[in-house]
Amino acid sequence: EAQVTQNPRYLITVTGKKLTVTCSQNMNHEYMSWYRQDPGLGLRQIYYSMNVEVTDKGDVPEGYKVSRKEKRNFPLILESPSPNQTSLYFCASSFSINQPQHFGDGTRLSIL
C-alpha cells in the first residue's frame, strides 16, 4: 500500500530535549516536505527536499533541521524544542512539486 509513515504519532516532551520525527515513503517520490498545522493559520511549510541531499527552507524553518540521505526518508529534527513548536506536524511526498502530495497522518507534538 502506498503510504507516508510518520513516527511518533503523539509526543509530549520538555523544552530543550532534542527530538526527531521520522518520515518514510514507499512511492519512490522525489519531493518531500514538512508542514506544521496551527488553528487559523492552515499549513505552513517548514522545509522541503527536491531529491536526495537537496533540501531548502520553507516559510517557517526557524528551530528545525532536516536531512535527506535516502530517497525514502526525510526526518524532522528539533535540536532544542520550545513551547512555540507545539503543533500538529505533517510530512508529505510527491513525484514533483507539481504533482499532488501524499500526506502522513500527522504527529502531534506538545512541548512543555
Partner 1 sequence: AQSVAQPEDQVNVAEGNPLTVKCTYSVSGNPYLFWYVQYPNRGLQFLLKYITGDNLVKGSYGFEAEFNKSQTSFHLKKPSALVSDSALYFCAVRPFDYKLSFGAGTTVTVRA
Residues in touch with partner 1 (CB under 8 A): 4, 31, 33, 35, 40-45, 48, 50, 56, 58-59, 90, 92, 97-98, 100-106
Nearest distance, CB of residue 55 and partner 1, angstroms? 11
Nearest distance, CB of residue 79 and partner 1, angstroms? 23
* C-alpha–C-alpha distance, residues 100 and 95, integer Å: 8
Three-class SS of residue 84?
helix
* C-alpha–C-alpha distance, residues 110 and 45, integer Å: 19
Query: Between 59 and 82, whose beta carbon lies closer to partner 1?
Result: 59
Nearest Cα neighbor of 102 from 90, 89, 91, 93 is 93
Nearest distance, CB of residue 75 and partner 1, angstroms? 17
Residue type present at position 8 = P
Query: Between 58 and 63, whose beta carbon lies closer to partner 1?
Result: 58
Q: Is 42 exposed, middle or buried (0-12, 13-18, 19+ CB in 10 A)?
A: exposed
CB 24 within 8 A of CB 18: no
Query: Between 15 and 27, whose beta carbon lies closer to partner 1?
Result: 27
Nearest distance, CB of residue 99 and partner 1, angstroms? 8
Query: Between 38 and 80, whose beta carbon lies closer to partner 1?
Result: 38
